[in-house]
Amino acid sequence: MITLPGYQGPNSLPVPVISNGSVDSATYLAGSANFHFATGDNTQNIMLYGNLCLVKDLVSFDMMWVPYEHYTMSTALKDKRHVYADYFNDHSVVGDVHLNTRFQIFNKWRKFIQLALRVGYRFPSGGQFGGARYSDGPGYYFDVSFGKPFKNTHWKWTGMVGFLVWQIKHDIFNQDDAFLFGSGLEWSNKGWVVKGGAAGYLGYIYHSGDKPVVVRLSVEKRKKQTSIFAGIQQGVHEFDYTSLEAGFKYFFRNTSRQVVILKQ
pLDDT of 181-218, one tens digit each? 999 999 999 999 999 999 999 998 877 889 999 999 99
DSSP code of 136?
A: S
User: CB–CB of 157/168 below 8 Å?
Assistant: no
Amino acid identity, residue 124?
A: P
pLDDT of 125-161, one tens digit each? 998 899 999 998 899 999 999 999 998 889 999 999 9
Judge residue 172's burial from the number of C-beta atoms within 10 Å of its C-beta, 0-12 exposed, 13-18 middle, 19 or more buried: exposed
User: CB–CB of 122/16 below 8 Å?
Assistant: no
CA distance 90 to 106: 49
Length of the chain: 264
CA distance 15 to 28: 22
Nearest C-alpha neighbor of 137 from the set 93, 101, 169 = 169
Amino acid identity, residue 27?
A: T
Q: For the whole model, what pTM was predicted?
A: 0.91
